Chain A
Amino acid sequence: MVTYIVRRLITAALILLGASFLVYLLTASSGDPLEEFRASSAPNKQQLMDSRSQLLDLDTPAPLRYFKWLSGAARCLVPFGGSCDLGKNIAGQPITEALGFALVQTLTLVTGATILAILIGIALGIITALRQYSALDYGVTFMAFLFFSLPIFWVAVLLKEYGAIGFNDFLRNPEIPLPVALGIGAVAGLIVAVAVGGAARRRLVSGGIVFLAVSLILIYFSLVQWFRNPGLGPVVIAIAGVGIAFAVTLLVAGLKNRKALQASLIVVALGVVAYFAVQPLLNQATAVMIVLLGIATIGVGVGTGFLMGGYDRGQSMRAAGITAFLVGGLILMDRFMQAWPSYFSNSRVRGRPIATIGAGTPNIQGDFWVLTLDTFTHLILPTMALILVSLASYTRFTRSSMLEIMNMDYIRTARAKGLSERSVVMGHAFRNALIPIATIVAFDIGALIGGAVITETVFSVRGMGFLFLDGIMHTDPNPVMGVFVCVAVTAMVFNLIADLAYSALDPRVRIKA
């Protein structure tokens, strides 16, 4: 095992050395860094050219410059040495500083999108595998192929037009005409009718209920101008919480486990009480406090589950913990909605909240809630675009993995033992189907920090992809090398982790030392 890891790391280091040498030479030879001065008619043209030559050390041939760069970069390997030197970019800024900034930008952009895409993709994949050859399966398959074929910059322009400009115009006068409300309700009902499966009567009833509910809610929203002054309130949180409690218990423990259900319901009641208790506290919120509150919430949930016990204490704890987390999320969402009007009327936002470019409104003032909302409104479009294009592969992969597992002999054995369908799907099939997905996820997380070059360009986020592209455009090797080294190292480390995780999760796969 250790031999294997050491060998992998040494090979990786050698590959990295070779590839970085190539990347340096390629970047240096990709253009002329002095080009913009050559054609200029500025009187101090020669001086400008000289200073840039000096900054980029152009008198030294590129292969030698690589080794100069390498000697600086090698000092980054010394932990806490503080002498990390990746050179400077064309504007004279140290690369380590630029990388730090870009990394934060990129991670805020892609983390949420990746997590959401993984969750939604896996859920869709499992549902379509369980309903193989149903209308839902065909629909999702078609959508997956469609999303897979979309160029992201094309989606981005459409989102900007309809998601941002259209929605902002709508917010100016948030009234939904009756036919539109009915239409949206009908579409939602149709989707549900297709998705639930089963007999025609069942489909019709579920679809009808959803149609009525969605239409009525939209009409209500329109009447009270909900989109201007959104909010959930304790009543909605309580109702939604009970729904969440039932759904989570159904998935985690099965409704037959009464203790788990009771634990989840108790947690919901605690949540509604906490809703009133924490409001004054939330008014002085900081990010750290939210995280601490979240941990406390999960702790309370798990504790309740532990106290309730039942024939399977672990199931109760899991059900109550997840319920607590979700109810806490609802309370948080409600607090964000309370801050919405003040964000909406902020002098920098001027009633057009959904932004099309950038990572934040410049010079915005406000408390934690307003500032976080500002980040959200800037993230929402790129996140949607990224989810759309990366959803497809997760869905397809999970579906085929799940289908293969469902045809295995041990699934038949599980059924023959008389286990409930829930425990066959969730306990036997789902967990094993996750093994190959875990490796894909590890790869994707490794690729995360490379950023999404095109998404960052379209939405003007100055992240890693932007830094990289900018370096290429200016024939500036240092930022390109900085990004490349970061991306390559994480990608290699996560490849290794993926391989190790696979052999840890699936004992049939042995690592050859």
Chain B
Amino acid sequence: MLSIKPVSSLEDSSRIVEELIGVGALLSAAMLLGGLTGFWGLAFLMAFGIYLARNLFYFLHFLNLVRSRALEPSKAPFGVWGDIYEAYFEKVFQDKRRIKRLRSETDQVYDAMNLLPDAHISLNEKFQIEWVNHSAENMLGLRRNDAGHKITNLLRQNEMVQYLERQDFGHAIEFYLSAESTRRLSAKIVPYFDKHYLLIIRDITDAHNLAQVRRDFVANASHELRTPLTVLNGYLELMLDSADSLPVIWANPLTQMHQQSLRMQNIINDLLTLSNIEAEDVELEADYVPVHSMLQKLEAEAQQLSGGKHQFHFNLESKEGLLGKTEALRSVFTNLVSNAIRYTPDGGEIWVRWYQTPQSMVFEVKDTGIGIAREHIPRLTERFYRVDTARSRSSGGTGLGLAIVKHIIERHHAKLAVYSRLQVGSTFRVEFPISLKHSEPDV
């Protein structure tokens, strides 16, 4: 093995000196030969020929070396050629090291990819497979040497084909591998690198089933509870109607029981609403919703609900309506306004705005209420989540209002933003995409 020297050994003039000595020796030999024989021209020609032949020999030898990609260095020749050989071997040596390092790095990455529980498939810009990991082989029946095939030639599910055709990778899709397969898969494409895509497929069977079980349970339980409650309520109302004939001490308990059973009914109704919204898999059938007039009516209702304890400012700046579900949107607006009333102390102010921005139609409710601590805000839309348990009970909410709001606005592709400061007030803003904007149709 050669010792490693810096590539720029041209600065190291020893090789040039060697070369010059060589040339000098050749010239003196020619002069000697010329002096002896008298054929000066022939002697110099011979010397020149020898020099040329040597260079030609090493040139071809070197070319052969490079072509055959010889990795093991041979003995470096005398003179400038030695420099070239050494420089080449050094480069080869460095490359070898670099390749080895790169290979170990890529091996590491591939190993890591193979250990991932989700199927990962790398695709090029034509959606042809570049590589697949172990999970993709096990989960989808792809093979390691499937590189070059278009992914939809092997994963021919309709959902997958449409997902790639639409080229809208903002959301994931769900599909079954085949009609009889019970494994529910979720697929998502993430663009990466330069015009490459990473297709990630995850087995969500368990989560999917669990969510289904929960939904079914809630829907069934609330449905089953409704009948006994209606019976209870009915008899309580009957008893209240004939309260005169009952002992006086029962009057208060009966009213309380009636109130509580009504509240329970509200909760169950909300739960049913929620499970109905969740069960609607289809894209919503949109109608024209006259938001402006709806909010005008809401103002009157709000005044009534508040009983004159709050000051309302309804700024309906836009006359436009929305495309959506009328009842659902009404319950969004009502829920948010009644929340504001509920959590704003007497004498507080409530602003309701309906306006248009370049990207969205915005419904906003702002109050000077008690506010919400920062840690509660992300969890507000969970079912039965209570910021302050004692207080919420007394205010008579069901704990489901914001969960319903969240589901409805998700269906409308809208966003809910909450800003709040304790003791200062809260702002709830719903931003509907501008594509849902709709003017009143001509009758």
Q: Do these two chains really belong together in a complex?
A: no
| A residues lining the B interface (CB < 8 Å) | none
Binding site for A on B (CB under 8 A): none
